[in-house]
Amino acid sequence: LILSAWNPAEIDQMALPPCHMFMQFYVSEDKKLSCQLYQRSADIFLGVPFNIASYALLTHLIADVWNLEVGDFVHTLGDAHIYNNHFEQINLQLTRNPYPLPQLKLLNTYDNIEDYRFEDIEIVNYQSHPTIKGEVAV
């Protein structure tokens, strides 16, 4: 399955061209679904963490609909950047030790990905440091 958010005919109607724009989902011989995301422009502080979480969730949902195990998430960044107004936040982030990864639990299984609701998703053993705020830079 290949998904593309790149539509040149509509670029002039968009606030920005799509940053996370090309996804390939691949099923291995051992029935694992992997996702590779190509991101042409990557805001390391504000955008990339959200993109990782959202495409990992999407991979889990598609795997669940297709009755597959979850494989790898591969994230390829084109223009990876840290904006000048995010250096203080990045330096704070680098002082923090990561917590163990949480687990994603899907409480229901559906035949259609559009049937999933927020209530169908549980994040188990999630720990986080206090929020680090940052202004969106364009």
Residue with tokens 């955008």: 47
Cα(105)–Cα(35) distance, integer angstroms: 18
Which of 19, 44, 48, 82 is labelled catalytic? 19
Length of the chain: 138
Hey, is 128 helix, strand or coil?
A: coil
Tokens at 7, concatenated = 């539509």
Look up 35 and say whether it is catalytic. Answer: no
What radius of gyration, in Å, describes the C-alpha atoms of the chain?
17
8 A C-beta contact, residue 33 and residue 58: no
Positions marked catalytic: 19
